[in-house]
Amino acid sequence: TTNLPRIDYYFDVISPYSYIGFETLQQLQHQWNGVEIRYIPFALANVMKESGNKPPGALSVRWDMMMIDLKRSAKFLDIPLTPNPFFMKWIRQYRSTDAMKILLVLEERDPELMERTAREMWHRVWSRSEKIFEYSDFVEIMNAVGIQDIEEVIETSKEEKYQIALERNTEYCTRRNAYGAPWINVTTTDGAEHSFFGSDRFHLIADLLNQPQPLPQRLFQLE
């Protein structure tokens, strides 16, 4: 109940473009005054299922091009992103759901801690080719960001309310035509909602919110 413009950034840590958009928005939030920004965990696998879309890996030419585009984007933005050779195998075997539920627990405690933990998860899958699916992965992730009561967080994340919250966040987007990640829902001061797909739409969001345009490159050197 505020009439600030708001950006709801829906992401999944399995998604490399969610990582690119996350880092871009982390930089833009210093430039975009008076814009509220929320980072919201959702489940890309369910978005794909609900919308009838297919994951990029389902079409091999698309996958190959995506890996090339990711490398280019990472270089351009100076983001540590290295295509993961095990990714196709892993996504047949695992889901990111448990990792996303851990983020929901942390979000309740401290949104900034949740953001740092999400970044560590992306660094694992999309920079160091490490898993984010099993108990031992979660212990390593939370150790890396300095969380003390790791077991407590993991146990809490198994409560039904986090499964429900993840589904609710996902459904909010699929009702607004979501078919991929990141999905960005922008609410303007008049209360109107505008949806955007992808990490490459911030110039249009800047235009909608009358905010300065993102600099064309090396967002990281702005600070």
Interior angle at CA 124, CA 122 and CA 129, nearest 5: 120
Comparing every residue's Cβ against ligand GSH, the nearest one is 180
State in angstroms the smallest separation of the CB of 86 from ligand GSH.
16
| By the rule CB under 6 A, 180 interacts with ligand GSH | yes
One-character DSSP codes across 97-140: HHHHHHHHHHHHH-HHHHHHHHHHHHHHHHTS----SSHHHHHH
Pairing of strands 36-41, 193-197: unpaired
| By the rule CB under 6 A, 83 interacts with ligand GSH | no
Residues between 41 and 60 with contacts to ligand GSH, criterion CB under 6 A: 53, 56
> Of the two residues 105 and 184, which places its CB atom closer to ligand GSH in the complex?
184
> Of the two residues 85 and 146, which places its CB atom closer to ligand GSH in the complex?
85
Backbone φ/ψ region at 116: left (φ over 0), alpha (ψ -120 to 50), beta: alpha
Using the rule CB under 6 A, give the single segment among 81-89, 113-121, 147-155, 173-181 that binds ligand GSH.
173-181
| By the rule CB under 6 A, 195 interacts with ligand GSH | no
Cα–Cα separations (whole angstroms), residue 193 to 5, 8, 14, 58, 171:
10, 10, 26, 31, 16
| By the rule CB under 6 A, 170 interacts with ligand GSH | no
Angstrom distance (rounded) from CA 166 to CA 43 = 7
Q: CA 196, 201, 203, 204 torsion: positive or negative?
A: negative
Site string for ligand GSH, 2-21 (x = CB under 6 A): -------------xxx----
| By the rule CB under 6 A, 87 interacts with ligand GSH | no
| By the rule CB under 6 A, 84 interacts with ligand GSH | no
Q: Which residues bind ligand GSH (CB under 6 A)?
A: 15-17, 53, 56, 179-181, 198-200
